[in-house]
Amino acid sequence: MEPLNEANGYSSKNAFKGRLVFGVYGKESPKAAENFLRYVRADRSNGEPSYASGQLTKMEPGVFLEGGKIAGLNIINIGGQEELEYGGEVVAPLPSLLEASSGDRPHDRRGLLTRDRLSRGPEFGVTLGAAPSLDGSHEVFGRLLQGEDVLARLEKVPVYGGQSRLEEGSLASDAFKAQNRALVYIGKNVFRDERAVDRTGSLMRRVDILSCGML
């Protein structure tokens, strides 16, 4: 793939920009909705973590697009309690998001706003089709109202597959994958290198959230 630069016609001025509008199920999933809106309403100029400095980062093709990672926002442990740290300061305790959402909506179509039930951070996902594999582990708390064309454009961003060029299912291919897993494990647990992460599913183009707000 060619790098993005001025020589091949790319610049920040002609980079694609689009808008997604979501509705949230505040009555059915109040905790998930409020946690999401917390980062939508946040005032970045006042030092609050906001989706306005966030990114879309991963995708499982045909299943869902993941976003909401906010630069500088980390989960830290203080005295056995997990807290949110932003810009070197503790900003707020992590909310408890386990809830029995009324109706417990299935991931049965495209454009549903969803989140991992065990995650209390800002990350969220948007389904790219019916995704029954997410039922149970994820909670639907909203849906896309406007911006299907933008979602379709985002769906075309290439992702890192973590695959070898060897025949799938062959001993050589399996050995390649096992080696990758081993190197990530060693880097993370032996050398404590924060860069040692599994990049499978990561978007191969940077996708920033430039602004957000309530309508």
**CATH assignment of the domain containing 96:** 2.40.100.10
Q: Indicate if the pLDDT at residue 65 is higher than 70.
A: yes
Residue 169 lies in a domain: yes
pLDDT for residue 138 is more than 50: yes
My answer on whether 103 and 42 are in the same domain is yes
Q: How far apart are CA 159 and CA 183, in angstroms?
A: 21
Residues forming a β-bridge with 83 = 76, 93
Rounded CA-CA distance 70/40 in Å is: 12
Q: What pLDDT sits at residue 109? A: 97
Check whether residue 24 and residue 110 sit in a common domain: yes
Q: How far apart are alpha carbons 65 and 89 in whole angstroms?
A: 30
Structural domain total, the chain: 2
Residues 145 and 191 both lie in one domain: no
Does one domain contain both 173 and 117? no
Do 86 and 116 have their domain in common?
yes
Q: How many CB atoms lie within 10 A of CB 102?
A: 11
- Same domain membership, residue 172 and residue 126: no
Per-residue confidence band for 44, with pLDDT thresholds at 50, 70 and 90: confident
Q: Report the pLDDT value the prediction gives residue 204, as an integer from 0 to 100.
A: 82
Output the pLDDT for position 166.
45
> DSSP letters of 86-126?
ETTEEEEEPPP-----TT-----STTEEEEETT--SS-EEE
Q: When comparing pLDDT for 106 and 91, which is higher?
A: 106
How far does CA 181 lie from the centroid of its chain? 22
- What residues are paired with 140 via a beta bridge? 114
Whether residue 103 is found in the same domain as residue 185: no
What is the average pLDDT across 109-121? 92
Q: Are residues 171 and 146 in the same domain?
A: no
More confident residue, 3 or 117: 117
pLDDT confidence of residue 75: 81
Same-domain pairing of 172 and 191:
yes
Question: Does residue 187 surpass a pLDDT of 70?
Answer: no
Residue 177 has pLDDT above 80, yes or no: no
Q: 124 or 14: whose pLDDT is higher?
A: 124
Residue 164 scores a pLDDT above 50:
no
Give the pLDDT band of residue 80 (cuts 50, 70, 90). confident
Segment 50-56 mean pLDDT? 93
Question: Is 2 within the bounds of a domain?
Answer: no
Answer yes or no: do 39 and 119 share one domain: yes
- Per the domain annotation, does 183 fall within a domain? yes
In this prediction, residues 144-173 reach a mean pLDDT of 76
Q: Specify if 209 maps to a domain.
A: no
55 and 99 co-located in one domain = yes
**Same domain, yes or no: 83 and 184:** no
Query: Where is the domain boundary, 158, 187, 207?
Result: 158
135 alpha carbon, distance to own chain's centre? 17
Determine the structural domain holding residue 168 and report its residue range: 163-198
Establish if 212 belongs to a structural domain.
Answer: no
- Evaluate if pTM is beyond 0.75: yes
Q: Give a yes or no: residue 51 inside a domain.
A: yes
**206 in a structural domain:** no
- Mean pLDDT taken over the chain: 81
What mean pLDDT is predicted for residues 46-65? Answer: 92
Instruction: Classify the C-alpha dihedral 101-20-50-196 as positive or negative.
Output: positive
Helices (H), the chain: 30-41, 148-155, 171-189
The predicted structure's pLDDT at residue 19: 94
Asked whether residue 215 is assigned to any structural domain, the reply reads no
